[in-house]
């Protein structure tokens, strides 16, 4: 079908264009020694609650900021403003993911960027964000205990492009009859060797391990870039 093959071709061009922009972003973040973490998940897996607690804990010792993507509303930026760090909302309209151009534009009036960490919360979607490099150093996929243990098998690409997995809402694990072993085994089946952490943004469980993890990843990154 000619429209479909044309769509594929034009999409490939858009993807290539995104890769070029993402590479430029990554070079810039490296030059400015900013460690960039992106968060992807289903809608409602708890990215914003996770990010709020992360920002609130890190802000005492680090310069942190966040970009948050949604189709509509500034709700997430308003929630994250409670963490008292710079936060900017990107509203995508009907677009199902962030791209490198949106990240670049959102950062344009934050020059010069004096940051240790930049967090980017993607649109809630387990499909589309997987294909778009945002220039991040660490892509984290979140999955809540209420979503069903089979999600990694059903949405393999996003798990496959992630550098770490976070199981969220662990406080609901018993009520949801969550099968931890099955979830971990499904994640490992799709992305062997990926580190998987368990957290509850509600009661704070697991955040110490998560913050240790992200800091050690940043230190490895700094050791390489300042070598």
Which residues contribute to the site for a copy of itself (CB under 8 A)?
Answer: 1, 3-4, 6-7, 10-11, 13-14, 17, 42-44, 70-73, 75-76, 94, 96, 123-128, 131, 144, 146-148, 150-151, 153-157, 169, 172, 175-176
3-class SS at 115? coil
Query: In the complex with a copy of itself, which residue's Cβ is closer, 83 or 122?
Result: 122
Bridge partner residues of 91 (DSSP): 70
What are the structure tokens assigned to 184, written together? 């971990």
Which residue, 175 or 212, has its beta carbon nearer to a copy of itself? 175
- Nearer Cβ to a copy of itself (5/226): 5
- Whether residue 126 contacts residue 41, with contact meaning beta carbons closer than 8 Å, is answered with yes
Closest CA to 129 of 142, 116, 144, 112: 142
- Of residues 97, 43, 45, the one with CA closest to residue 69: 97
116 to 31, 35, 58: CA distances (angstroms): 12, 6, 10
Q: Which residue carries 């943004």 as its tokens?
A: 201
What phi and psi, each to the nearest 5 degrees, are found at residue 126?
-90, 5
Q: How far is the CB of 177 from a copy of itself (least distance, A)?
A: 9
Judged by beta carbon, residue 7 or residue 84, the one nearer a copy of itself is: 7
Minimum separation from the CB atom of position 117 to a copy of itself (A):
24
Q: Residue 197 Cβ, how far from a copy of itself at the closest point, in Å?
A: 19
The CB-of-180 to a copy of itself minimum distance in angstroms stands at 16
Q: Nearer to a copy of itself by C-beta: 38 or 137?
A: 38
- Considering the complex, state which of residue 36 and residue 123 has its C-beta at the smaller distance from a copy of itself: 123
Cα distance between residue 129 and residue 92, in whole Å: 12
Output the smallest distance, CB 153 to a copy of itself, in A.
5
Cα distances from 82 to residues 49, 72, 75, 136, 207, in angstroms, run 11, 20, 12, 24, 18
Q: How near is the Cβ of 190 to a copy of itself at its closest, in Å?
A: 9
176 phi, psi to nearest 5 deg: -90, 0
């Amino acid at each position: 079908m000619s429209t479909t093959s044309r769509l594929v071709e034009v999409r490939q061009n858009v993807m290539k264009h995104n890769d070029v922009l993402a590479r430029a972003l990554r070079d810039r973040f490296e030059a400015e020694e900013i460690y960039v973490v992106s968060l992807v998940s289903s809608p409602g897996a708890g990215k914003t609650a996770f990010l709020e607690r992360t920002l609130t804990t890190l802000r005492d010792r680090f310069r942190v900021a966040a970009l948050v993507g949604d189709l509509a509303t500034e709700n997430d930026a308003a929630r994250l403003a409670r963490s008292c760090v710079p936060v900017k909302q990107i509203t995508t309209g009907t677009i199902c993911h962030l791209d490198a151009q949106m990240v670049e534009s959102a950062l344009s009036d934050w020059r010069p960027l004096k940051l240790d960490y930049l967090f980017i919360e993607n649109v809630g979607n387990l499909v589309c964000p997987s294909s778009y490099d945002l220039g991040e150093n660490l892509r984290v996929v979140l999955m809540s205990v209420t979503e069903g243990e089979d999600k990694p098998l059903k949405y393999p690409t996003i798990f496959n492009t992630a550098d770490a997995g976070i199981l969220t809402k662990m406080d609901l694990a018993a009520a949801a009859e969550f099968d931890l072993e099955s979830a971990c085994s499904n994640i490992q089946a799709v992305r062997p060797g990926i580190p998987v952490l368990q957290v509850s943004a509600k009661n704070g469980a697991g955040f110490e391990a998560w913050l240790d993890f992200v800091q050690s990843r940043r230190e490895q990154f700094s050791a390489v870039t300042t070598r």
